[in-house]
Structure 1
Amino acid sequence: MINFNGTLLLEEKQIELHNRGLNYGDAVFETMKVSGGKIFFWEDHYFRLMASMRILRMEIPMNFTMEFLQNEIFKTLESEKSDTKTFRVKMLVWRKTGGKYRPATNNVEYAISFETLKIPFYTLEENEYEVELFKDHYINSGLLSTIKTTGKIVNILGSIYASENEYDNCLLINEDKQIVEALNGNIFLVKENQIKTPPLSDGCLNGIMRKQIISLLKNFSEYTFEEASISPFELQKADEIFITNVIVGIRPITKFRKKEFSTTVAKNLISRLNAKARLD
C-alpha cells in the first residue's frame, strides 16, 4: 500500500516515463522511523523537508502543514493490517512533469511508502563492522550536498565498491579530501576527550540523527564537542568512530584497515537517544 497524493493505492503506481525525479533527480525525500504511534523527531523531519523544497525552488502546497503530512503518514500506515507497530516510512516529493532542465512548473506531487521493522527502539550492534575510504568519486561541498535528494549516485557506487571488497560500509570524501560521511549516515569521531563531526560546509548531509546526537553530546561534561573537518589521517588515530542515521540510530565502526575501535561513547549515548526519541 502506498499513498499517492493523498490516495491510498493497493499496488505501487507506475511512474510515468517523464517523471522529473526519474529523469533529472528533481526530487527530495525523508526517511522516518515510526514506533508506537509516534514519528521519531517529526518536527525536525518536517522542517528539513520544507527547507529542502525551498532550496530546490519547489512550490510548497498550502496544505503541507505539519498536521496534514503527519495525518497522511498515519493514514498510510493504518492500511497495514498486522501486529507490527514499527515502520520505516519514506516520503518522496518531486516536481510535476514538464520541461527539460527548465521545469514547466514548480508544483509538486508526493508519495508515501513504508516497510515494517522488527525493533521498536534503538539498539547498539557491536558485531564486527569494517569500513574503508571510497576514493573513486567525491561529494561536492556546499548546500546542495546537505539535503536529501534522489541524486545519490556516489552513495550507490560506494555501496557497490563496499560489496565487491567485502566491507560493511565506506566513508565518503569531498573535493578537499576531507571525510564527509558514511554511505548511509553521518559520522562522529572520538579521540581522547574530544568528539567531532564534519561541518555542513564540508558537504555532509544535514542529518536528523546528527542533530539529535549533537544535542546529546553538548551535555557530556567529560568530553568537548566540535564541528570540524576530519582528515583521513585522523581515522587511524581515533579511539572510536560511529555512524548515525534515523533508522539505525548509532552504528559503531569496529575496524578501519588495521585499527580497531572501542564503543564507549556509543554505549553511553544509546540509552539517552531512546529517551530523547520517546520524549521529543
Structure 2
Amino acid sequence: MQKNYIYINGQIIDEDLAAIQAKDQGLLFGYGVFETIRIYNGMPLMLMKHLERLTAALCIMEINIPSLPILEAEVTRFIHHIKLCNGVLRITVTKGFKEATILFTHRETGYDAESYKKGFSLKTSAIKRNATSPLSYLKTLNYMDSLIAKRESLRAGYDEALFINTDNRVSECSSSNIFFIHDQKLYTPAITCGLLNGIVRALILSDIVKELNLTVTEGEYVLDTLYQADEIFITNSVIQIMPIIKVDNQIIGNGLPGSTTKKIMEQYSKHIAKLLPN
C-alpha cells in the first residue's frame, strides 16, 4: 500500500500534514462534489467521463476550478508521484472559503474475488430518494442518507442498502446503480426516478448491451418487480459489477450469480482490457 499522500490545491503532501480552512463551505455545509475513480496499472479508468461529470456538477453548484486539461494533468501527476498502481482515487472539490478546495485521496478497492462469486444482498431502506431534489442527481458531499442507510443494512446482515423514491419506485442503492433481468431482458430505473447516472451504468447502456445483443429498458418499477427478477446486479466505478442474490427476505433466482450477469461481467472485463495500456 502506498504511503498516504494527498493532493490539496496543487501540493502533494503527507496526509497527516493536510489541512483545510475552518470556514471552508464544504466543511460547514457539505457544499461540494466528488468522484471516485478505479485505477488499473497506474491508469485512471474512464478519467475524462468522471471529470466531465464532475465539472457539470460544479457548474450547477457554481464552483470554479481550473480547466479540464489542467485537472487531468494534475490527476496524472498525483498518480505518478505516489506510484499508485491499483486502487481507488477520489477527487473532492468544495466551495472552499475564498476559493475552491481541490483534494485528491486514494485507498484500496476493498473487494475480493470471493465477493463476486458469492454475490451481495440488499436491504430496502426506510429512507426514500426524492426525485424532485437536484441533489439526487449529483455526487455531492451531502451523503448522510446513503451513509445511514448503508450502516443500517450492514447491521441487519446485508451488504448494501436499496432506495425506493417518494413515488414508491425503485431508484438506486446507497452507492450504486441497479439492474435486473427478467426473461433474458435487461431493465434499470430511469434517471428520473432520482438517481445518479453512474459511469459504469452509462457504459452498460451505451456499449455492453449492444455487444451482447441484449434488450434494455429504462423505466419505473415497484419493489415487487425486483423480488420476481431472475437476476439482479449493481454497478459503480469501484465495485464494477456485483451480482445480487437476495433482496430483503427474497432470494433472487437460485441464490447464485446468474448466467446473464456473468456474461455482462465478462464483457465489462473485456471492455476494460481494451482501455488499458499494453
| Aligned pairs for 1:111-260 within 5 A | 111-117=103-109, 125-135=116-126, 137-142=127-132, 143-215=134-206, 216-221=208-213, 223-256=214-247, 257-260=249-252
Whether 1:65 and 2:57 are equivalent positions in the alignment is: no
Within 5 A, what are the aligned runs for 1:99-110?
Answer: 107-110=99-102
Q: Are 2:268 and 1:273 equivalent residues in the alignment?
A: yes
SS at the partner of 1:113?
Answer: strand
Shift in CA distance, 200/258, structure 1 to aligned 2, threshold 3 Å: closer
Cα distance between partner residues in 1 of 2:238 and 2:114: 11
Within 2, Cα distance between the matches of 1:15 and 1:234?
46
Q: Tell me the SS of whatever aligns to 1:255.
A: strand
Stretches of structure 2 lacking an aligned partner (at least 5 in a row)? none
| Equivalent-residue separation in structure 1 for 2:170 and 2:269 (angstroms) | 28
Aligned to 2:41: 36
Matched, 1:5 2:9: yes
CA contact (8 A) 2:43 2:85 kept: no
How many residues align? The count is 264
- 2:77 alignment partner in structure 1: 75
Offset, 1:259: 2.2
Q: Matches of residues 86-101 of structure 1 in structure 2 within 5 Å?
A: 86-97=86-97
CA distance in 1, matches of 2:209, 2:33: 29
CA distance in structure 2 between the partners assigned to 1:218 and 1:141 by the alignment: 29
Please give the alpha-carbon distance, in whole angstroms, between the structure 1 residues aligned to 2:144 and 2:19: 23
Name the counterpart of 1:264.
Answer: 259
- Residue 104 of structure 1 is matched in structure 2 by none
The residue type paired with residue 244 of structure 1 is T
What secondary structure does 2:81 align onto?
Answer: coil
Shift of 1:60: 3.7
Change over 3 Å in CA distance of 1:267–1:228 after alignment to 2: same
* 2:50 equivalent among 42, 45, 55: 45
Shift of 1:273: 1.1
Deviation at 1:28, TM superposition (A): 0.4
* 14-23 vs 246-255, which moves further: 14-23
Q: Per the alignment, in what secondary structure is the counterpart of residue 89 of structure 2?
A: strand
Q: CA RMSD in A?
A: 2.2
How far, CA to CA, are the matches of 1:195 and 1:266 in structure 2? 10
- Hey, what's the Cα distance between the residues in 2 that align with 1:43 and 1:74? 12
Cα deviation, residue 16, structure 1: 2.8
SS of residue in 2 equivalent to 1:243: strand
Q: Secondary structure at the match of 1:112?
A: strand
Secondary structure of 1:175's partner? coil
Task: Give the Cα–Cα distance (whole angstroms) in 2 for the partners of residues 11 and 49 of structure 1.
Answer: 23
Specify whether residues 128 and 31 from structure 1 end up closer, same or farther in structure 2 by C-alpha distance, changes over 3 A only.
closer
Give aligned-pair identity as a percent.
25
Using the size of structure 1 for normalisation, the TM-score is: 0.87
CA distance in 1, matches of 2:109, 2:140: 24
Tell me the distance in 2 between the aligned counterparts of 1:76 and 1:208. Answer: 22
Q: Return the offset for 1:128.
A: 4.6
Contact conserved, 1:30 with 1:90, CA < 8 A, in 2? yes
- Give the superposition deviation at 1:129: 2.2
Confirm or deny: 8 A CA contact 2:121 2:244 kept in the other structure.
Answer: yes
Distance 2:86 2:169 in 1: 36
Contact 1:187 1:198 in 2 (8 A): yes
Other structure's SS at 2:57 match: helix
Aligned to 1:103: none
**Pairwise CA distance, 1:156:** 0.9
Whether contact under 8 Å (1:2, 1:114) holds in the other structure is: yes
1:122 to partner: Cα distance? 9.1
Per the normalisation by structure 2, the TM-score is 0.87
Contact 1:5–1:111 (CA under 8 A) maintained in structure 2: yes
Give 5+ residue unaligned stretches, structure 1. 99-106
Which ranges of 4 or more aligned residues in structure 1 deviate by more than 4 Å? Answer: 121-124
